[in-house]
């Protein structure tokens, strides 16, 4: 827990430093029409770094030793995350419908151990209903790929 607390605070401090650097570049003082663009973010970042230092101070005295996450806890989390990331990556080429159907089918097969037929039908039903609701009914277009092009959309 302590390590995670410290890491997060340090990452935020680094981010804050980046903000300060950029704000100094565009000016934090008084321009011709009021405060310059960097004024607000500069002070925000200064305050944030201050608060993070406080958090670090607190965390250093914390001796509870509870782990942030155990290996057994992390597994199911990663099991959701990496297929989701792969799915988003696939969306760039396959479009949203096919990619999300593949993701659902994969997840159901891999972690739910469903038979092929069940996994496929659930994911196809999902993709088709999203298509009907968004694309047809509310006219909100989704990213499409070769499959949709082949079907004429």
Contact residues for other proteins, defined by CB under 8 A: 1, 4-5, 8, 12, 15-16, 18-19, 22-23, 26, 30-31, 33-41, 44-45, 47-48, 51-52, 54-55, 58, 68-69, 73-74, 76-77, 79-81, 83-85, 87-88, 91-92, 96, 100, 103-104, 107-108, 111-114, 122, 126, 130, 133-134, 138-143
The CB-of-30 to other proteins minimum distance in angstroms stands at 6
Residue number with CB closer to other proteins (71 or 151): 71
Closest CA to 142 of 130, 129, 152: 130
Residue number with CB closer to other proteins (47 or 149): 47
d(CA 63, CA 5): 12
Residue number with CB closer to other proteins (51 or 147): 51
The CB-of-138 to other proteins minimum distance in angstroms stands at 5
| Residue that is written with structure tokens 């960097």 in the block | 38
The CB-of-153 to other proteins minimum distance in angstroms stands at 15
């Amino acid at each position: 827990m302590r390590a995670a607390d410290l890491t997060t605070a340090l990452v935020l401090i680094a981010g804050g430093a980046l903000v300060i650097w950029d704000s100094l570049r565009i000016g934090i003082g008084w321009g011709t029409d009021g405060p310059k663009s960097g004024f607000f973010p500069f002070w925000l970042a200064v305050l944030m770094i201050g608060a993070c230092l406080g958090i670090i101070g607190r965390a250093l005295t914390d001796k509870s030793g509870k782990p942030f996450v155990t290996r057994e806890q992390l597994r199911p989390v990663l099991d959701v995350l990496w297929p989701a990331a792969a799915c988003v990556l696939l969306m760039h080429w396959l479009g949203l419908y096919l990619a999300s159907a593949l993701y659902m089918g994969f997840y159901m097969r891999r972690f739910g151990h469903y038979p092929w037929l069940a996994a496929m039908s659930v994911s196809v039903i999902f993709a088709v209903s999203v298509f009907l609701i968004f694309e047809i009914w509310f006219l909100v277009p989704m990213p499409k790929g070769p499959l949709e092009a082949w079907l004429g959309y």
